């Protein structure tokens, strides 16, 4: 009992430290960027003093962006964790149900076929200030990813969500979306094609307060749901039959949690584009360092996801020389070596 | 306690019958052993009792209640299961055993649940291992932890598929002793399957010989004869008496 309490205290301490790191990084991220604002200018701007351009940059660009990094990082990471548990597959990712492929298709359709609003935003700063409506593209991306999720979950219901079937259906349907995207791009104009390709690069700069609120409500709902179900996920780790024998509705749990994880991913991808690898790296790092108990791994993965995305975004904006380079590329470049180090050099392998 | 009547099961409507009009009953604290070849329907019978599979026809009565109509958690409070292939999720031994309390607590383990888990660990002599990760356990220890998790469920019936499948002889004896000790005192019934007929004889109270989904013979150890074994397993054995106990020796060679 004493040891149990000690262990719990240790976990609480780790979570607290991770929260502190997120807060510090958020501040660092807030005061870094391509504009020549000094730290004290930034701090003043945060409280509404100083040059109006600075206030605008901090309030309208950087705060929504930092919030987006925290929310999307957490969301993508817990989605990956839950998909990995549900599918008993360490390679499962937030997009296993073809979410990203479908979102890309939807966005491409909107941009190429309907010349969607996104064409004029790109990653140029002035567009954030003129407030072009990027929602049409995001909405269509979201509709298609939801369609893909429902299609796959509907199909897999027939096989009571057996993990192998879900993974294979995800691959099959995902590749249909990719093929359809290729066809669209083949017939696209040069401008349409480049706008579509730019959309695919994940970009936190697209975030606004409105998109942050929408993402936060979905990610928040998911986080609460997953935390409530954490003992059931733990039960799932000991195999389907054991979980059933302790009263867990295994196929119901898989359905509801895969739906939630995929919706989180769909929202994040639709608003921000593809930010790869967060959903694989962060849950694995969390599991390697702190074990697989979902009472710990859900909050820890969420925080690690926020941390990775905050670091990646800070780097992306300080390297970009005027325009931010795609954050998705940085998450992978940054995360992968760390990930490999954790896999290969951690003592006592836990598979 | 457990009374199964005319249970029939098949996996799909067109597939052959796996369980064919099975009837059996088990009293409180009794150890019932299912004996039969691989594929004779033992595991399927366990699965229907555990509610993993729905039978096509038949009733299962459990202490006066219809087992087939119980909800998952109600059933999990009555019946615990130790599967053939034990898998643990990289939790500590303590948390693994605490999982057995899930049907009672649902969302968050209470103090009482933690105390029951701890008490079960003590009874099984696993206290030292409480904070160890299940990934670090030996085969025998894993089996013990799985039994502890099942006992933490405080069931009336323990379903145990091949408890000694992958164990060496010392662990085999240890596990059988643990099952006996853990269940007899508390009046928990056991439904199990064993490959080793001598092991079966040493712990079983009632025996059910199952072949092609039918129960061919059942009763106490007196029904275990050369003829019955020949008919069920198509195997030649001799039964000899050793220190006042039946001993089955391979007679086919």
More confident residue, A317 or A253: A253
Q: Would you state the pLDDT for residue A114?
A: 72
Q: What is the maximum span of chain A, computed from C-alpha positions, in angstroms? A: 68
Q: Locate the chain A residue with the closest alpha carbon to B100.
A: A246
The answer to the question of residue B50 being in a domain is yes
Q: Å from A246 to nearest chain B CA?
A: 5
Q: ipTM of this model? A: 0.91
Q: Would you state the pLDDT for residue A192?
A: 80
What CATH number does the domain containing B33 carry? 3.40.50.300
Partner-chain contact B153 A246, CB within 8 Å: yes
Query: What DSSP letter does each residue of B151-201 carry, written as one string?
Result: HHT--SEEEEESTTTT--HHHHHHHHHHHHHHHHTTT-EEEEE-S-HHHHH
Structural domains of chain A, ranges and CATH numbers in brackets = 2-345 (1.10.3470.10)
A contacts of B106 (beta carbons < 8 Å):
231
The answer to the question of residue B68 being in a domain is yes
Structure tokens at A54: 């600075």
Mean pLDDT within A259-279: 92
Q: Would you state the pLDDT for residue A322?
A: 62
Q: Does the pLDDT value for residue A10 go beyond 50? A: yes
Residues 141-180 of B with CB under 8 A from A: 153, 159
The CA distance from B147 to A288, in Å, is: 27
More confident residue, A226 or A116: A226
Structure tokens at A235: 């039960």
H or E stretch covering B230: helix B226-233
The answer to the question of residue B113 being in a domain is no
Q: Does the pLDDT value for residue B92 go beyond 90? A: yes
pLDDT band at B195 (very low <50, low <70, confident <90, very high): confident
Q: Does the pLDDT value for residue B162 go beyond 90? A: no
- Cβ atoms of A303 and A74 within 8 Å: the answer is yes
The CA distance from A127 to A216, in Å, is: 24
Q: Can you say how many angstroms the Cα of residue B129 is from the centroid of all Cα atoms in its chain?
A: 24
Residues near B12 by beta carbon (within 8 Å), at least 6 away in sequence: none
Q: Would you state the pLDDT for residue A119?
A: 44
Q: Would you state the pLDDT for residue B250?
A: 86
The answer to the question of residue B100 being in a domain is no
Q: Å from A307 to nearest chain B CA?
A: 25
pLDDT band at B228 (very low <50, low <70, confident <90, very high): very high
The answer to the question of residue B135 being in a domain is no
Q: Does the pLDDT value for residue A1 go beyond 80? A: no
Q: Would you state the pLDDT for residue A346?
A: 61
B contacts of A245 (beta carbons < 8 Å):
50, 76, 79-81, 83, 159
- Cβ atoms of A173 and A103 within 8 Å: the answer is no
The CA distance from B234 to B231, in Å, is: 6
Q: Does the pLDDT value for residue A321 go beyond 70? A: no
A contacts of B80 (beta carbons < 8 Å):
245-246
Mean pLDDT within A164-188: 92
Q: What SS3 state is found at B19? A: strand
- How far are the Cα atoms of A9, B121, B152, B223, B225 from residue A2, in angstroms, in the given order? 11, 15, 20, 52, 54
Residues near B187 by beta carbon (within 8 Å), at least 6 away in sequence: B28, B29
The answer to the question of residue B200 being in a domain is yes
Low-confidence winner among A258-267, A282-291, A334-343, B137-146 (lowest mean pLDDT):
A334-343
- A96-137 pLDDT tens trace: 888 999 999 998 888 887 765 444 444 444 443 333 456 788
Q: Would you state the pLDDT for residue A325?
A: 80
The CA distance from A17 to A23, in Å, is: 10
CB atoms within 10 A of CB B134: 24
More confident residue, B165 or A163: A163
Q: Would you state the pLDDT for residue B253?
A: 59
Among left, alpha and beta (phi > 0; psi -120 to 50; other), residue A88 is left
Domain housing B211: 2-87+155-250
- How far are the Cα atoms of A6, A239, B246 from residue B100, in angstroms, in the given order? 22, 14, 37
pTM of the model: 0.90
- Cβ atoms of B16 and B8 within 8 Å: the answer is no
- A191-214 pLDDT tens trace: 888 888 888 888 888 888 999 999
Structure tokens at A305: 């996801």
The CA distance from B140 to B240, in Å, is: 31
A contacts of B116 (beta carbons < 8 Å):
none
Low-confidence winner among A58-62, A124-128, A152-156, B208-212 (lowest mean pLDDT):
A124-128
The answer to the question of residue B114 being in a domain is no
The CA distance from B213 to A212, in Å, is: 59
Hey, is the C-beta of B75 within 8 angstroms of any chain A C-beta? yes
- Cβ atoms of A244 and A299 within 8 Å: the answer is no
Looking at chain B, the whole-number percentage of residues with pLDDT higher than 70 is 99
Partner-chain contact B109 A228, CB within 8 Å: no
Q: Does the pLDDT value for residue A270 go beyond 70? A: yes
Partner-chain contact B90 A350, CB within 8 Å: yes
- B30-74 pLDDT tens trace: 999 999 999 899 999 999 999 999 999 999 999 999 999 999 999
The CA distance from B103 to B106, in Å, is: 6
Mean pLDDT within A312-338: 81
Mean pLDDT within A172-179: 94
Average pLDDT, rounded, for chain B: 91
User: What is the count of structural domains for chain B?
Assistant: 1
More confident residue, A124 or A279: A279
The answer to the question of residue B98 being in a domain is no
HEC readout, chain A: CHHHHHHHHHHHHHHHHHHHHHHHHHHHHHCCCCCCCCHHHHHHHHCCCCCHHHHHHHHHHHHHHHHHHHHHHHHHHHHHHHHHHHCCCCCCCCCCCCHHHHHHHHHHHHHHHCCCHHHHCCCCHHHHHHCCCCHHHHHHHHHHHHHHHHHHHHHHHCCCCCHHHHHHHHHHHHHHHHHHHHHHHHCCCHHHHHHHHHHHECCHHHCCHHHHHHHHHHHHHHHHHHHHCHHHHHHHHCCHHHHHHCCCCHHHHHHHHHHHHHHHHHHHHHHHCECCCHHHHHHHHHHHHHCCCHHHHHHHHHHHHHHHHHHHHHHHHHHCCCCCCCHHHHHHHHHHHHHHHHHHHCCCCCC
Beta-bridged to residue B26, according to DSSP, are B2
Hey, is the C-beta of A351 within 8 angstroms of any chain B C-beta? yes
Q: Does the pLDDT value for residue A70 go beyond 70? A: yes
Residues near B190 by beta carbon (within 8 Å), at least 6 away in sequence: B30, B31, B32, B157, B158, B159, B160, B179, B183
More confident residue, A126 or B110: B110
Average pLDDT, rounded, for chain A: 86
Q: Does the pLDDT value for residue B127 go beyond 50? A: yes
Low-confidence winner among A75-79, A113-117, A180-184 (lowest mean pLDDT):
A113-117
Q: Would you state the pLDDT for residue A125?
A: 41
* Of B212, B216, B150, B222, residue with least CA distance to B183: B150
- Cβ atoms of A148 and A98 within 8 Å: the answer is yes
Give the burial string for A166-183 (b: 16+ CB within 10 Å, else e): bbebbeebbeebbebbee
pLDDT band at A144 (very low <50, low <70, confident <90, very high): very high
Q: Would you state the pLDDT for residue B54?
A: 92
Q: Locate the chain B residue with the closest alpha carbon to A292.
A: B90
Hey, is the C-beta of B81 within 8 angstroms of any chain A C-beta? yes
**Angle, helices A135-157/A99-108, rounded to nearest 10 degrees:** 140
More confident residue, A344 or B130: B130
Q: Would you state the pLDDT for residue B252?
A: 64
Q: Would you state the pLDDT for residue A232?
A: 96
């Amino acid at each position: 009992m004493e040891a149990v309490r000690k262990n719990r205290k240790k976990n609480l301490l780790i979570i607290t430290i991770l929260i502190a790191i997120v807060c510090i990084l958020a501040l660092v991220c807030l005061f870094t960027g391509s504009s020549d604002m000094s730290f004290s200018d930034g701090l003043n701007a945060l409280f509404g003093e100083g040059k109006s351009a600075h206030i605008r940059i901090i309030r309208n660009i950087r705060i929504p962006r930092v919030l987006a990094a925290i929310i999307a990082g957490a969301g993508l990471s817990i989605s990956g964790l839950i998909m990995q548990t549900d599918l008993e597959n360490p390679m499962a990712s937030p997009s296993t149900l073809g979410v990203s492929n479908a979102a890309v298709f939807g966005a491409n359709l909107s941009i190429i076929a309907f010349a969607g609003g996104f064409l004029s935003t790109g990653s140029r700063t002035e567009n954030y200030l003129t407030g072009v409506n990027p929602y049409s593209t995001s909405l269509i991306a979201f509709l298609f990813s939801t369609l893909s999720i429902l299609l796959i979950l509907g199909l897999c219901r027939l096989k009571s969500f057996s993990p192998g079937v879900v993974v294979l259906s995800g691959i099959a349907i995902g590749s249909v979306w990719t093929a359809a995207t290729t066809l669209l791009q083949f017939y696209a104009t040069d401008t349409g094609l480049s706008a579509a390709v730019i959309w695919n690069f994940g970009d936190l700069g697209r975030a606004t307060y409105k998109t942050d609120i929408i993402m936060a409500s979905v990610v928040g709902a998911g986080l609460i749901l997953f935390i409530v179900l954490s003992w059931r996920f733990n039960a799932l780790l000991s195999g389907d039959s054991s979980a059933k024998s302790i009263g867990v509705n295994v196929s119901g749990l898989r359905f509801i949690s895969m739906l939630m994880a995929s919706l989180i991913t769909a929202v994040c991808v639709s608003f921000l584009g593809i930010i790869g690898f967060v959903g694989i790296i962060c849950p694995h790092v969390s599991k390697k360092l702190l074990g697989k108990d979902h009472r710990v791994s859900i909050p820890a993965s969420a925080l690690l996801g926020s941390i990775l995305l905050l670091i990646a975004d800070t780097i992306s904006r300080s390297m970009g020389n005027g325009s931010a380079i795609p954050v998705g590329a940085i998450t992978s470049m940054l995360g992968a070596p760390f990930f490999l180090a954790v896999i290969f050099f951690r003592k006592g392998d836990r598979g | 306690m457990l009374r199964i009547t005319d249970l029939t099961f098949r996996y799909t409507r067109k597939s052959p019958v796996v369980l064919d009009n099975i009837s059996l009953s088990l009293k409180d604290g009794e150890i019932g052993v299912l004996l039969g070849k691989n594929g004779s329907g033992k595991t399927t019978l366990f699965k229907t009792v555990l509610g993993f599979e729905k039978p096509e026809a038949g009733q299962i009565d459990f202490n006066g209640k219809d087992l087939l109509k119980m909800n998952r958690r109600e059933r999990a409070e009555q019946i615990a299961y130790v599967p053939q292939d034990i898998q643990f999720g990289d939790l500590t031994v303590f948390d693994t055993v605490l999982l057995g309390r899930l049907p009672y607590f649902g969302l968050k383990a209470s103090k009482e649940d933690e105390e029951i888990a701890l008490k079960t660990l003590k009874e099984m002599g696993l206290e030292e291992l409480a904070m160890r990760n299940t990934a670090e356990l030996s085969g025998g220890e894993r089996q013990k932890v799985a039994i502890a998790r099942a006992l933490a469920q405080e069931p009336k019936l323990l379903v145990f598929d091949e408890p000694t499948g992958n164990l060496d002889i010392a662990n085999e004896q240890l596990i059988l002793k643990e099952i006996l000790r853990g269940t007899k005192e508390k009046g928990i019934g056991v439904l199990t399957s064993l490959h080793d007929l001598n092991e079966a004889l040493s712990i079983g109270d009632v025996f059910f010989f199952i072949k092609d989904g039918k129960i061919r013979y059942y009763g106490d150890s007196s029904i275990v004869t050369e003829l019955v074994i020949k008919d069920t397993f198509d195997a030649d054995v001799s039964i000899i008496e050793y220190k006042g106990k039946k001993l089955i020796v391979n007679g086919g060679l």
